[in-house]
Amino acid sequence: MNNAFLHGDLLEEVYKQPPPGLKLLSPQHVCKLQISLDGLRQAVRQWYAKLSQFLLSNNYTLSSANHSLFLNHNKPNITIIRVYVDDLVLTGNNHEEITNITSLMDTQFKIKNLGDLTYFLGLEVARNSQGFHICRRKYMLDLFHDTGMINSAPMPTPMVHSSRLSSFDGTQLTDIETSAYRRLIGKLIYLTNTQPDIAFVVNNLSQFISSPTNLHQQAAFRLLRYLKGNPGNDIFFHSNNTLLRGFSDSDWATCPETRKSVTGYFIFLGDSLVSWKSRK
């Protein structure tokens, strides 16, 4: 989207300091904004309001689960628009509607069509005749560089099988180390969107971000070394899927502190893994 934040409608009177070089009749004069600008606190909100109003007026509905997801569902056809600030991902099985809404948005906002999706928010997408792959190789390589683990030896498993992490074991980390641990866990949580094999470990490590110890830090570094073994691990979504299957399991109250259970599930559409979670 070109100059997305300029399309928002200002509902308040906003004044700014004049830009350098502008000649004024009085040094006390300021500039009154007529349109929204990038950098205003309300710029993103007003841009979203303008875009959502436009989509809703063109037969799209807002998802109740995600306010950045818009749907045009007219069985058997469906068109989906995913919004992230000023970037939009458009997909569906109705080519006529995709062409129509793209043309309307270009008239209203002057958009730039970047073609087939290949990279979005750290996701690398590759298509073929059987479906498409999603991976985060670049995201993980950047993570290894940031943590100094680029030359570390890989590990075969994400954690020790018999490990039972606790808040009471180990030595308390310093403030700097604690901040680094929290940033790392945040990045790993985002990575679980495409890495179901680390969901359990990340869920476990995220329970100690308020007061991590050296043992939690070591477990996080071991997880990075596991990822180091295969940074290009990806998920493949098949083009033709029919049967919906689900699997779940529980570890039956193995948390040493709360005696609560950790439950995990996997949902498959045909041979494609489409949803998963691990939670206490």
User: pTM for the full model?
Assistant: 0.77
Task: Compute the distance between CA of residue 184 and CA of residue 188 in angstroms, rounded to an integer.
Answer: 6
145 burial type by CB count under 10 A (0-12 exposed, 13-18 middle, 19+ buried): exposed
pLDDT of residue 4: 62
pLDDT in tens, 32-70: 877 777 767 777 788 888 889 999 999 999 998 888 999
3-state DSSP call for residue 78? Answer: strand
Task: Compute the distance between CA of residue 132 and CA of residue 219 in angstroms, rounded to an integer.
Answer: 32
* Residues forming beta bridges with residue 247, ordered by sequence position: 266
pLDDT of residue 186: 95
3-state DSSP call for residue 254? Answer: coil
Q: How is 31-49 classified by DSSP, letter by letter?
A: EEPSS--TT-TTHHHHHHH
Per-residue pLDDT of the chain (280 residues; tens, 9 = 90+): 565 666 677 777 777 778 787 787 787 888 887 777 776 777 778 888 888 999 999 999 999 888 899 999 888 899 999 998 888 899 988 899 999 999 998 888 888 888 888 888 888 888 888 888 888 888 888 999 999 988 889 999 999 888 888 888 899 999 999 999 999 999 999 999 888 989 999 999 999 999 999 999 999 999 999 998 876 677 888 888 778 999 999 988 888 788 889 899 999 998 888 899 998 8
